[in-house]
Amino acid sequence: MTDRIPPSGLPLASHAPGKAILFGEHAVVFGKTAVVLALDMGTDLEISGLRGTGSGTYNGSERAARANPYLQTSLLAHPPPQPLDLRCRSQLPRASGLGSSAAFTAGLMTALLGMEGGAERTTLALESFRAERQAQGVGSPVDTSAAVAGGVLSVGARAPGDKLWELPAEDGRPAWHVARLPDPGWTWVVGFTGVPKDTATVVRRVGERVKAPDGPRLLEQIDSLALQGCDALRAGDRAAVGRLMNENQRQLVELGISHPRLDDLMRSVEKLAVGAKITGAGGGGSIIVLPCPGDELRVGQAISHAGGVPFVVKVAARGASVQPLTGGPQPPGTGGRRA
Ligand code: PMV
């Protein structure tokens, strides 16, 4: 990807999309393959400069600015020329598995690099990953890559597709490659349980789980399934993608990341879906559903009846962007719709 983040003065507006993981969450932390979709629902920031030497404000509050770890790690890495006033509007529920932290971090980092005179998108990918990882303590670059690149991506030590960038891993693990896959153009439905998940806790628990004798085998199986998923997406084979989602779901249950509310939502869409699975860390959070064609709204209603919050979504082709704010009303975000 050759496009650059343009230079931008203050005030400015930035946008970054959320994401849903289609295959390979958790295993990707160990360098296995994952497939992620950037979603047409995301986070909008409006940033202006403040006079003086304070630490800046987040939605009008200095305390909220100090308490936001993603804001703090980003500002530390790329200090702005003056304190900032940050206003955030997001369509992504927090701790839902839909990439709200990554969209916030990538949107903010786009703005900070824009203020520094611009940067390659590869640099934005690296800096967003570092800031999110530092704030979270664990994790892979799946979420931040989707927020930075948009579209459909594969991530992992092998990552089939058109190569975008490579990001370093720690502890002697292989680097993560990030590549672009084609978007088949389908409509998906996401169902949020309303139960916030804690990524770091679940990732650490899975780290313990895969130390069991069958752990390495399970990770290899998830990797092989995600690679088949890449082929199925490239072929635009909806039935194969759905079948692989269902298989991946069984693997995720074996990893121990389900939750009674996730099980409820999964049951509610069983008869209407080509495929369905947990998306993200699990232990709460969301499911992603590939509906039978034409059944998108019925899937949304089923999720709603089961007590979840449905979103009918498509893939967002564009990643994080920044533009100067010229005053007057801003166009609303590109809009995931509540079903
Ligand atoms: O934070 P979540 O729920 O979107 O989960 C991210 C996906 C994991 O594979 C569980 C962790 C990671 O950083 O890859």
Structure tokens, 278: 């947990």
* Tens digits of residue pLDDT in 48-87: 999 987 889 999 999 999 999 999 999 999 999 999 999 9
Q: What pLDDT shows up at residue 331?
A: 45
The verdict on the CB of residue 37 being under 6 Å from ligand 1 is: no
Q: What pLDDT shows up at residue 173?
A: 85
Cβ–Cβ under 8 Å, residues 278 and 257: yes
The verdict on the CB of residue 25 being under 6 Å from ligand 1 is: yes
Tell me how far the alpha carbon of residue 295 lies from the centroid of ligand 1, in angstroms.
Answer: 28
Q: What pLDDT shows up at residue 327?
A: 61
Q: What pLDDT shows up at residue 171?
A: 78
What is 102-163 written as a DSSP string? HHHHHHHHHHHHHHTT-EEHHHHHHHHHHHHHHHHSS--SHHHHHHHH-SEEEEESS--SEE
Instruction: Tell me how far apart the alpha carbons of residues 242 and 70 are, in angstroms, rounded to a whole number.
Output: 34
Structure tokens, 260: 């009674």
Q: Which residues of the chain have pLDDT under 50?
A: 1-2, 329-339
Cβ–Cβ under 8 Å, residues 180 and 121: no
Task: Identify the residue whose C-alpha is closest to ligand 1 atom 11.
Answer: 139
Tell me how far the alpha carbon of residue 28 lies from the centroid of ligand 1, in angstroms.
Answer: 9
| Ligand 1 atom closest to the CA of 136, numbered from 1 | 13
Of 19, 128, 140, 153, which is best to mutate to test ligand 1, by the most ligand atoms within 8 angstroms of its C-beta? 140
Nearest to 38 by CA among 130, 170, 194, 148: 148
Cβ–Cβ under 8 Å, residues 111 and 71: no
The verdict on the CB of residue 28 being under 6 Å from ligand 1 is: yes
The verdict on the CB of residue 143 being under 6 Å from ligand 1 is: yes
The verdict on the CB of residue 99 being under 6 Å from ligand 1 is: yes
Q: What pLDDT shows up at residue 170?
A: 80
The verdict on the CB of residue 139 being under 6 Å from ligand 1 is: yes
Model confidence pTM above 0.85: yes
Tell me how far the alpha carbon of residue 145 lies from the centroid of ligand 1, in angstroms.
Answer: 12
| Ligand 1 atom closest to the CA of 25, numbered from 1 | 9
The verdict on the CB of residue 31 being under 6 Å from ligand 1 is: no
Tell me how far the alpha carbon of residue 281 lies from the centroid of ligand 1, in angstroms.
Answer: 5
* Tens digits of residue pLDDT in 17-32: 999 999 999 999 999 9
User: 84-90 and 57-58: which strand pairing?
Assistant: parallel
SS3 22: strand
The verdict on the CB of residue 310 being under 6 Å from ligand 1 is: no
| Ligand 1 atom closest to the CA of 96, numbered from 1 | 3
Cβ–Cβ under 8 Å, residues 193 and 284: yes
